[in-house]
Amino acid sequence: MNKLKGLRCYLAGPIDHADDDGVGWRNRIKIWMEQKGVHVMDPCDKPTSDSTYQEIDEEKVRMMQLKADGEFDKLTQYMKEIVHVDLRMLDRSDFVVVYIDMNAKPFGTIWELQNSLHQRKPTLVFVEGGKTKISNWIYGVMNHNYIFDSMKDLLVYLHGIDSGDTDADLTRWVFFD
């Protein structure tokens, strides 16, 4: 049925405390999404030429050095633009995939998760080490059926949504003809 075709998906997850800048899991899931015709909105590869800061690689190192050096005004300048662009991508998305690694200090990720839930978007979470590793708080703010033990489990669910084999929660999903 290709229900996901043409939809936009934002990929939320750790960047500043991720060993690979958060690029690895995003690149893996993007391949699957693009095969389904989903437009991926990736904060590690911002789809705008208006953004001065890209947040990864040498820029991430520079921002971490600004923090270490106490250059908080400069760090704030960087981060305000980054946060603005990332949250705007989340706003424009039709659904959100969230990767949570509790060891990667997921403050920004949790902020994005809350924003997505407040916007009543389909919000799908997969957790490093399985869903038992996530904070109990998350179970109080979202349906546990949309929290997955792995990316593979999440993609099985999305495949079911795409094919029509899995009933979509129409209080969250909206598919236009």
pLDDT digits (tens, 9 = 90+) for 134-172: 999 999 999 999 999 999 999 999 999 999 999 999 989
The pLDDT value given to residue 106:
86
pLDDT bucket at 49, cuts 50 / 70 / 90: low
Integer Cα distance of 131 and 125 in angstroms:
9
Integer Cα distance of 70 and 157 in angstroms:
45
The pLDDT value given to residue 63:
78
Sign of the C-alpha dihedral computed for residues 54, 27, 111 and 16 taken in this order: negative
Integer Cα distance of 172 and 167 in angstroms:
12
The pLDDT value given to residue 168:
93
Average pLDDT, the chain: 91
> Domain of 80: which CATH number?
3.40.50.450
Side chain identity, residue 22? G
Q: In this structure, is residue 144 part of a structural domain?
A: yes
Mean pLDDT value of segment 62-71:
86
Mean pLDDT value of segment 26-54:
86
Q: In this structure, is residue 26 part of a structural domain?
A: yes
The pLDDT value given to residue 57:
59
Q: In this structure, is residue 3 part of a structural domain?
A: no
Q: In this structure, is residue 133 part of a structural domain?
A: yes
Integer Cα distance of 40 and 46 in angstroms:
10
Asked which of 5-9, 19-23, 60-64, 103-107 is least confident by mean pLDDT, the reply is: 60-64
Tally of structural domains, the chain: 1
Query: In terms of residue numbers, what domain contains 68?
Result: 8-163
Mean pLDDT value of segment 90-111:
94
Q: In this structure, is residue 171 part of a structural domain?
A: no
Measured in whole angstroms, the distance separating CA 110 from the mean position of its chain's CA atoms is 10
Integer Cα distance of 168 and 18 in angstroms:
32
Side chain identity, residue 176? F
Q: In this structure, is residue 20 part of a structural domain?
A: yes
